[in-house]
């Protein structure tokens, strides 16, 4: 099918990128490839969002408050499960299915990706999809994974963990860690290297990936070489300190897009407040699995964090990157200007999505043994 943008825009992103100092860390800023004003939305994202933003701008705030009813969950699932990508890979990607037995005896499905010419003893990317812990699917992130595999010739495994609210916390988290153990124990079968396993997840999947790193550290198993957190959920309790206090003032928004972006941020704020209801647990600051931001980061693996300029999770993502760096954890942090949440889902439509896949692959290859 191919890209809906010229490949030259990928080069433009690299040409225009810059490293800035953000609270003492090096922050790699990826600017919109075409010329734009400070605080602008990327035009591709704007074109995809303007109808929804216009409708929402006329809605009373009361109507945007989170409702955890079955009807509302199904409506949100339909939105989160929408496929927003298109194939762009050059090599043939072989996809196989497998399953593992989780902590309670339930079998959980896995999807395994390799290039047709894959090399033995490769790095393994263990991928956990997002979707607010209650939505998303393997299909939503498939093109992102295929691009990473195509670029790097590594092996990727995507896990189909159980979703809330039907499966309360910590079911999905435990599923993901059991899947990681399966990957580690089956490296030879997969053709991978057990010393080079990287966990990765987007949004809520970033929280689940981080849980895998935390449990790996607690149990001293040494399975995780590095973690990649894409616009991750890290501070559900909104724990505040010298680095984090959410405020609209943390966002640079040009006047043209102010109303639409602020409306979207308000919507995500409401959704974040309802995640505890969905999971069936109080996400207080002492639960460091749901709120890794408030926990101890010592001993965590090398980390990759990326987030969009207008993402509700930007403030906590960047604050966590600073926290990790302060503790001596090598962390590569990338901010995409003009984007909001979940741009990894837009492979083939947004050049930044492909650029992000390239950066993920580079991080894995550069930080392998």
Mean pLDDT, the chain, rounded, equals 95
Residue 68 binned pLDDT confidence (cut-offs 50, 70, 90): confident
DSSP H or E segment with residue 26:
strand 25-30
Cα 28 to Cα 341: distance, rounded to the nearest angstrom:
17
- Per-residue pLDDT of 173-208, as tens digits, reads 999 999 999 999 999 999 999 999 999 999 999 999
Q: CA 336 to CA 359: how far, in whole Å?
A: 12
* β-pairing verdict for 155-159 and 192-202: unpaired
Which residue bears the tokens 């595999």?
A: 149
Mean pLDDT computed over 202-223:
98
Q: Does residue 140 sit within a domain? A: yes
Would residue 2 count as lying in a domain? no
pLDDT of residue 358: 98
Residue whose C-alpha is closest to residue 50's, from 352, 259, 250:
259
Residue 92 CB neighbour total at 10 angstroms: 10
Lowest average pLDDT, out of 158-172, 186-200, 271-285, goes to 271-285
Contacts of 335 (CB under 8 A, 6+ apart): 27, 28, 29, 30, 306, 307, 308, 309, 314, 318
- pLDDT at position 69 is 86
Give the whole-angstrom CA distance, residue 341 versus residue 36: 19
Euclidean distance between CA atoms 294 and 86, whole angstroms: 38
57-71, 85-99, 125-139, 326-340, range with the lowest pLDDT:
57-71
In a domain, 108, yes or no: yes
The pLDDT of residue 57 is: 65
The token pair that represents 135 in the structure block: 């939505």
Q: What is the DSSP string of 58-92?
A: TS-GGGGS---SHHHHHHHHHHHT--------SSP
CATH number for 131: 3.40.50.1820
Number of domains the chain is built from:
1
| Domain assignment of residue 26, given as a range | 8-366
Name the pTM for this structure: 0.97
Mean pLDDT, residues 52-81 taken together = 77
- pLDDT band for 273, please (50, 70, 90 cuts): confident
Q: According to the model, what pLDDT value does residue 282 have?
A: 84
The residue count of the chain comes to 369
Average pLDDT over residues 297-324: 98
Residue 348 covered by a domain: yes
Q: Which residues pair with 159 in a beta bridge?
A: 110, 128
Instruction: Return the minimum-mean-pLDDT range out of 127-131, 177-181, 191-195, 264-268.
Output: 264-268
Question: In whole angstroms, what is the distance from residue 200 CA to residue 207 CA?
Answer: 10
How far apart CA 307 and CA 298 sit, in angstroms, is 23
Lowest pLDDT segment from 191-205, 265-279, 307-321, 325-339 = 265-279
Would you state the pLDDT for residue 302?
98
Q: Is residue 93 part of a domain?
A: yes
On whether the CB atoms of residues 213 and 295 are closer than 8 A, the answer is: no
Q: How confident is the model at residue 44 (pLDDT cuts 50, 70, 90)?
A: very high
The mean pLDDT value for 318-326 works out to 98
Pairwise CA distance, residues 200 & 145, whole Å? 10
Residue 133 lies in a domain: yes
Instruction: Report whether pLDDT(128) > 70.
Output: yes
- Segment 339-355 shows an average pLDDT of 98
Report the chain's terminal Cα–Cα distance, integer Å: 36
DSSP conformation class of 161: P
Answer whether residue 63 shows pLDDT above 80.
no
360 assigned to some structural domain: yes
Q: Output the six-digit token pair for 34.
A: 């075409």
Q: Is residue 1 situated within a structural domain?
A: no
- What is the per-residue pLDDT for 60? 63
Cα–Cα distance for residue pair 211/105, rounded to 1 Å: 20
Burial class (CB in 10 A: 0-12, 13-18, 19+), 269: middle
How high is the pLDDT of residue 357? 98
pLDDT of 64 reads 59
Confidence of residue 56 (pLDDT cuts 50, 70, 90): low
Q: Is residue 297 within 8 Å of residue 215, measured between CB atoms? A: no
């Amino acid at each position: 099918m191919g890209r809906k943008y010229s490949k030259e825009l990928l080069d433009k992103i690299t040409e225009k990128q810059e490293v800035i100092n953000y609270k003492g860390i090096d922050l790699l800023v990826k600017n919109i490839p075409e010329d734009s004003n400070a605080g602008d939305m990327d035009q591709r994202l704007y074109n995809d969002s303007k109808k929804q933003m216009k409708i929402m701008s006329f809605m009373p705030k009361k109507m945007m408050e989170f409702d955890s009813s079955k009807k509302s969950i199904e409506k949100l699932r339909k939105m989160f499960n929408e496929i927003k990508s298109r194939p762009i890979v050059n090599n043939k990607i072989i996809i196989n299915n497998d399953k593992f037995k989780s902590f309670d005896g339930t079998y959980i499905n896995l999807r395994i990706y390799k290039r047709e010419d894959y090399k033995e003893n490769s790095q393994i990317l263990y991928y956990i999809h997002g979707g607010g812990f209650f939505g998303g699917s393997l299909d939503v992130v498939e093109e992102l994974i295929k691009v990473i595999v195509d670029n790097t010739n590594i092996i990727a495994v995507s896990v189909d963990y159980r979703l809330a609210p039907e499966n309360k916390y910590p079911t999905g988290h435990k599923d993901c860690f059991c899947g990681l153990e399966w990957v580690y124990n089956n490296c030879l079968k997969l053709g991978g290297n057990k010393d080079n396993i990287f966990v990765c997840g987007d949004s809520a999947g970033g929280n689940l990936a981080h849980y895998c790193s935390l449990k790996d550290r607690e149990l001293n198993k040494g399975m995780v070489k590095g973690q990649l957190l894409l616009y991750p959920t890290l501070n559900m309790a909104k724990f505040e300190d010298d680095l984090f206090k959410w405020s609209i003032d943390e966002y640079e928004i040009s006047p043209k897009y102010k109303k639409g972006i602020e409306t979207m941020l308000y919507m995500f704020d409401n959704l974040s407040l309802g995640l505890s209801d969905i999971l069936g647990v109080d996400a207080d600051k002492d639960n460091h699995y749901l709120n890794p931001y408030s926990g101890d980061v010592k001993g965590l693996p090398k980390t990759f964090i990326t987030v969009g300029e207008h993402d509700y999770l930007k403030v906590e993502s960047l604050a966590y990157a600073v926290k990790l760096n302060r503790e001596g954890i090598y962390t590569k942090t990338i901010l995409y200007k003009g984007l909001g949440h979940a741009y990894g889902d837009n492979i083939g439509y947004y050049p930044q999505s492909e650029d992000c896949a390239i950066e993920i692959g580079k991080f894995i290859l550069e930080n392998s043994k």
